[in-house]
Amino acid sequence: MPKLTNDWIFTAHCPSLIGTVDVVTRFMADSGNYIDEIHSFDDRVSGQFFIRIEFHPQDETFTETGFNEAFAERAKPFGMTWSLTPPGYRAKVAILVSKFDHCLNDLLYRHRTGQLQIDIPVIISNHPDLKPLAEWHGIPYYHLPITPDTKPQQEAEILKLIDKYNADLVVLARYMQVLSPDMCNALDGKAINIHHSLLPGFKGAKPYHQAWEKGVKMVGATAHYVNNDLDEGPIITQGIQTVDHAHYAEDLVSKGQDIERITLFNAVRYHVEKRVFLNGKRTVVFSN
Report the pLDDT value the prediction gives residue 219, as an integer from 0 to 100. 86
Across-strand partners of 186?
none
Report the pLDDT value the prediction gives residue 3, as an integer from 0 to 100. 58
Report the pLDDT value the prediction gives residue 74, as an integer from 0 to 100. 95
**Could you read off the pLDDT of 62-104 as tens digits, one per residue?**
999 999 999 999 999 999 999 999 999 999 999 999 999 999 9
229 flagged as catalytic? no
Burial status of residue 237 (CB atoms within 10 A of its CB: 0-12, 13-18, 19 or more)? buried
* Cα–Cα distance, 112 to 59 (Å, whole number): 34
Neighbours of 61 (CB within 10 A): 7
Closest CA to 171 of 199, 190, 184, 186: 190
- Look at domain 8-85 and name its CATH class: alpha beta
CATH of span 91-285: 3.40.50.170
Q: Are 15 and 49 in contact (CB under 8 A)?
A: yes
Low-confidence ranges of the chain (pLDDT < 70): 1-5, 198-201, 204, 230
Closest CA to 123 of 157, 177, 170: 170
Report the pLDDT value the prediction gives residue 216, as an integer from 0 to 100. 85
Catalytic residue among 119, 168, 231, 251: 231
Domain limits, the chain: 8-85, 91-285
* Cα–Cα distance, 118 to 269 (Å, whole number): 9
Taking CA atoms, 284 is separated from 17, 24, 92, in Å, by: 18, 19, 23
Q: Provide the whole-model pTM.
A: 0.92
Report the pLDDT value the prediction gives residue 198, as an integer from 0 to 100. 64
From first CA to last CA, the distance across the chain in angstroms is: 11
Report the pLDDT value the prediction gives residue 206, as an integer from 0 to 100. 80
Across-strand partners of 8?
55
Closest CA to 123 of 100, 103, 150, 104: 104
